[in-house]
Structure 1
Amino acid sequence: MYDLEGVLGPSIMQFVERHVRSLLTWDILVFFHRNPDAVLDAAGLASRLGRRVEELEPEIEALSAGRILQSAGGLIRYKPTPELREIIGGFVDACQDRGRRLALIALVLHKINPQDSV
C-alpha cells in the first residue's frame, strides 16, 4: 500500500477525508482558493468550471455545511476559517506537485470507489 499520509501529511489527509467528496469538489475548492473574492451564483460557477448547475448543487451544499463556502441569496462565496484556509492552501499547493497530486487523486478515487485498494 502506498504511504499516502507520508506523502500528503496528516492535515491534508484529514481534510480530504472530511471535505473532498469528488473530483468536482476538488475543482470547486481550487477555484475558490485561487479566486477568494469571487461571489457567484451556481450558474456562474458552473460556467467557469464547465459543469452543469445540477452537478454542482450537492457539492456546494456539502462545502457550505463544512463551513468552507457560504451560500446565501443564491450567491456563493469562499468563507473558510483561517485554519481551514491554510489547510486548503496546502491542498492546492499539493495539487501542483506531481507525486502529491497523484496521491490526492488516489485518495479521492478510493473515497468514490472504496472497494478498490489504494
Structure 2
Amino acid sequence: MSDSEGALEHEVIRFVEDHVGSLLAWDIIVFFHRHPDEAFDPEVLASQLGRGPAELIREVEALSAEGILQTAGGLVRFSSDSALAPMVTAFVEACRNRTHRLSLIARVLQRIGASSEE
C-alpha cells in the first residue's frame, strides 16, 4: 500500500468514526451520494430506505448538523458544496472494496455496541 492509500484509508476511518454513527446513517450517506442532485421528502426517503420516518428524521437532522446534508422547504438533499463532500466520495469509494467495507461496518457496529452499553 502506498503512503497516499494509507492516508486515505486513515481519513476514511476518521470520517466513519466522526460521522457514521449507525447503519442508517451509512445508508443515507450512500443514498445521497448516488443521488447528489435530487431532493427528497423525508417520508419518501424513509420508504426508499425501508425505515420509519421518525428514525430517519433523527439521522437526517444529525447529518444536516454536520453539514453532510441540507434541509430546506421540507426536503433533504446532499450538501455537495460541504467541506465533507470529498470525504463522502472517498467513503463510498472505499466501500466498493469488500475488505474495506467489512472493516468499516465492524467499526460502526462496535460503536453502536459501545454506546448501547453506556
1:1-118 → structure 2 map (5 Å cutoff): 9-81=9-81, 83-114=83-114
The answer (yes or no) to whether the contact 1:7–1:103 under 8 Å persists in 2 is no
Structure 1 counterpart of 2:44, which letter? G
Return the alpha-carbon distance in structure 2 between the equivalents of residues 82 and 25 of structure 1.
17
Q: Which runs of 5+ in 1 are unaligned?
A: 1-5
Identity over aligned pairs, percent? 52
TM-score between the two structures when normalised by the length of structure 1: 0.85
- Off by >4 Å, runs of 4+ in structure 1: none
Return the alpha-carbon distance in structure 2 between the equivalents of residues 110 and 7 of structure 1.
22
The answer (yes or no) to whether the contact 1:8–1:103 under 8 Å persists in 2 is no
2:46 alignment partner, SS class: helix
Q: Deviations over 1:13-45 (max 9, x none)?
A: 111111101000000000000110110110110
Structure 2 counterpart of 1:95, which letter? C
Aligned residue number for residue 3 of structure 1:
none
TM-score between the two structures when normalised by the length of structure 2: 0.85
Give the number of aligned pairs.
110
